[in-house]
Chain A
Amino acid sequence: AQKITQTQPGMFVQEKEAVTLDCTYDTSDPSYGLFWYKQPSSGEMIFLIYQGSYDQQNATEGRYSLNFQKARKSANLVISASQLGDSAMYFCAMRGHSGGGADGLTFGKGTHLIIQP
């Protein structure tokens, strides 16, 4: 079974500061993918960034980067230069590769990030 743990229920950060959202995972699959999604108050799930378990380099997408530490089973999301529009719920998720291409994602409970001006 897979498990995602997000230990920060909520965070307050000053605008323009960098933010690190924690995520640890547990899986017995030798190959897996890790994802971060953003859920603003409007409710939609917005894909932010992906890291494959065999990727040698940490993933980056604009202001988002994923600090992947495989030995520690952690996949923290780093948001640089935070903006007011970054205020949202952030979910870490993983996908094992045991079921072929159609594995469902396992989500963490999320972190509610609030950016303060």
Chain B
Amino acid sequence: EPEVTQTPSHQVTQMGQEVILRCVPISNHLYFYWYRQILGQKVEFLVSFYNNEISEKSEIFDDQFSVERPDGSNFTLKIRSTKLEDSAMYFCASSQPYPGTEETQYFGPGTRLLVL
């Protein structure tokens, strides 16, 4: 069964460093998403991406964040200058187009980011 994959599973970085989180969405999906979950809290939407551009972003997704689809399979989230409060689990998700097709978002296993 096709699934969303994410690398790395864990990343430790120093405050102020840049990190790139990588995702491979399900191959026939067209919509891609990033979410984060601070430890013990609910999952929060960051950004959605369709047709090589950002479709929607939350207020969390400020100028230190960027997303890119560098090739036909990968979808990346870059955090330019990490802060302590960026420590969280980051989930990538993908879905097929709506309407008329299944709109369920399937999540990857997550990348646990720790900023020291």
Q: Which residues of A pack against B, CB within 8 Å?
A: 33, 35, 37, 43-47, 50, 91, 93, 95, 97, 99-110
Answer whether A107 and B110 are a contact pair too, CB < 8 Å, given A35-B104, A101-B95, A101-B98: no
Known contacts A44-B109, A104-B33: A99-B56 contact under CB 8 Å: yes
A and B contact pairs by CB, cutoff 8 A, 19 listed = A43-B89, A44-B107, A45-B93, A47-B105, A50-B103, A50-B104, A91-B42, A93-B43, A95-B105, A99-B56, A100-B50, A101-B99, A102-B50, A102-B55, A103-B56, A104-B35, A104-B45, A104-B48, A110-B42
- The answer to whether B30 and A101 have CB atoms under 8 Å apart is yes
Q: B73-116, CB under 8 A of A: which get 1 and which 0? A: 00000000000000001010101011100111111111010000
Q: How far is the CA of A43 from the CA of B108 in the complex (A)?
A: 10
CB distance from B50 to the nearest CB of A (A): 5
A48 — nearest CB in chain B belongs to which residue?
B104
CB proximity of A76 to chain B, nearest CB, Å: 18
In whole angstroms, what is the CA distance A95 to B104 when docked? 9
- B58 interfacial contact with A, CB 8 Å: yes
The verdict on B18 contacting chain A, using a C-beta distance below 8 Å, is no
A97 touches B110 (CB 8 A): no
B44 close to chain A: CB less than 8 A: yes
Bound-state CA distance A83–B49 (Å) is 37
Residues in B whose Cβ lies below 8 Å from that of A109:
41-42
When the two chains form the complex, which single residue of B41, B43, B46 contacts A45, counting CB atoms closer than 8 Å?
Answer: B43
Q: Which residues of B contact A106 (CB under 8 A)?
A: 45
- Distance from A115 Cβ to chain B, minimum over Cβ atoms (Å): 21
A50-B104, A108-B42 known; A102-B110 Cβ under 8 A = no
Q: Is the CB of A33 within 8 A of B112?
A: no
B109 touches A97 (CB 8 A): no
